[in-house]
Structure 1
Amino acid sequence: MIVATDACLPLPVLGEAPVSARVLINYELPSKETYLRRMATCLAADGIVINVVGGGEVITLKNIGESSSLVIAEMPINISEIL
């Protein structure tokens, strides 16, 4: 599991391999570009992203999903349903 900051992102120029976490938690909603970069460099193919959002960020998150063809859904009460 990774709780995301930009520090978790590998730098290709240094030859570091991408991280392959099953769970990526964004505790602050990043920009669309950063969101997609984190998914590409930190997340395993079968991984999930958990976004902690509030208020106006819900609309921003929906816009990221719609413009990127991502499936973004509200997390169920019992998270074992998604793991």
Structure 2
Amino acid sequence: MTLDDYRKQKGWSYGQLAQRLGTKHAQMARRWCLPQNHKDYLIPSNRGVTKYMSRILELTRGEVQPNDFYIQRDI
């Protein structure tokens, strides 16, 4: 499942998703939710102080996996 699919399923705005993941900017969450071929698409970092990929795994209880940011599935 993509992060955007998860966000829509929960009925959250980008701002609400950003807040739950601990980032200050809705724009960051929006970039994580864009289609992979979009020029502004961004894969969440799991380095440094803020480990967003780990936060996504925890928030979604594994429904959104790291591979979901790398492998595009047409289902």
Q: TM-score, normalised by structure 2?
A: 0.27
Q: Name whichever structure is richer in helix by fraction.
A: 2
Q: Which has the higher contact order (CA 8 A, sep 6+)?
A: 2
